[in-house]
Amino acid sequence: MTERAEGFWMGLGAGMLAVSVVAMAPRTGLSVSGLAAERVEDAKYTSKIVLENDRVRVRDVTFPPGVLDTGMHTHDLAHVGVILTEGTLLFTEPDGTSERVEFEAGSVGFRGANATHQVANPGTDPMRVIEVELK
């Protein structure tokens, strides 16, 4: 896995802290190529805390397809990410550079604390990730 892809995992964890925690949303069917406009309102980036103690916080995260991005955010905590469903994520850095990374189900990565970026799912299917933030 590339260093940037590993860096994704660190950024993904803290971004979940920066984005409001909501219940898992069902598959929306939204795609960048353009489905019905009313489907856009149904698409939501979701993060649900499934375990938390004094050492870790574990989140179940879903990136719906076609969502523009999570917004620029900084991950305060180092974290490990485990990809549950294959797909592609687009990572954009504060300087505007972007990297499109394809992931296989079962891929695992690590990212250090204080990583800043925004993430989008340009694919046609939702992507689901388990993220373990290290306190």
- Of 74, 86, 71, 92, give the one whose Cα is nearest residue 126: 86
| Average pLDDT estimate for 61-74 | 83
Q: Is the dihedral of CA 25, 30, 32, 37 positive or negative?
A: negative
- Of 44, 47, 52, 39, give the one whose Cα is nearest residue 18: 47
For residue 58, count CB atoms less than 10 angstroms from its CB and return exposed for 0-12, middle for 13-18, buried for 19 or more.
Answer: middle
Residue labelled with tokens 């499109």: 100
Q: Please give the class, per CATH, of domain 3-134.
A: mainly beta
pLDDT at residue 28 tops 50: no
- Specify the pTM: 0.65
pLDDT band for position 46 (50/70/90)? confident
